[in-house]
Structure formats: C-alpha cells, structure tokens
Amino acid sequence: MFYLKLLCESVEDDGILRFNESIPYNEDMLSVITDTNVDIVHAAMDIFQQLGMVALMDSDTYYMTEVEKLVGHESHQTKRKRENKKAKELEQAKEQALPAVEPFVEDEPW
C-alpha cells in the first residue's frame, strides 16, 4: 500500500517525489504524507532501491522508476514515430480518395 501511495504522489511530477520544485521529500516527510510508520518507510525505501523500483537521484530526490510505464507516457522518439505513421496514413488515404486523372492529349486537331 505504501508503494501505491508513493506512485500516486509522484505522478504529477513524472515520477519524482518532491514537496515543491526545490524541496524533495525525505523519508520522514514520506512517513507523514502516507501515514506510514517511519521505520517501515526507511526499510521499504531501502528494499525498493535494491529492487530498482525507486532510485535516489544526485539531489537526494527519490524517483519512482515505474511511473512512466504505468501512466502511459511516451518518449520523444515514440511520439515522433507515431506522428510520422499518422502522416503517412493520411497521405495514403488522400491518394486513395482521389481518382486517377489521365492527362488530356489531343490526337486530332479540329
């Protein structure tokens, strides 16, 4: 349940656990906001880090590594590929919708 609370808290910041832009959550703060015993928080965060579920970044900020997979974020490259595919499909649809026009060639002058 504690992990789910962390995921919910981190969704707005793309997986980063922080109080605001400049203040990251520490374990004591996480204990308060999740209503979880501080000893359980310390043990759980250690286990989550060992399992790769949480990463501690350089700025002492916790990052929930699985958030992007759970909320459906797409990478820049994935977005570009999706947009290119959509553009190709649109172009193909236009080509199929327009009838083939044969150029007019005058064989005999009047």
Question: Which tens digits make up the pLDDT trace of 67-108?
Answer: 877 766 555 666 777 788 888 888 887 777 766 666 666 776
pLDDT of residue 80: 73
What three-state secondary structure class fits 67?
helix
Radius of gyration of the chain, Cα coordinates, nearest whole angstrom: 27
Strand partners, 64: 54
The pLDDT, as a whole number, for residue 108 is: 67
Class of domain 2-65: mainly alpha
Distance CA 22, CA 15 (A): 15
The tokens describing 11, both together, are 């969704």
Using DSSP's 3-state secondary structure scheme, residue 63 falls into strand
pLDDT tens digit sequence for 8-36? 888 888 888 988 888 899 999 999 999 99
- pTM higher than the cut 0.85: no
Q: Are 48 and 101 in contact (CB under 8 A)?
A: no
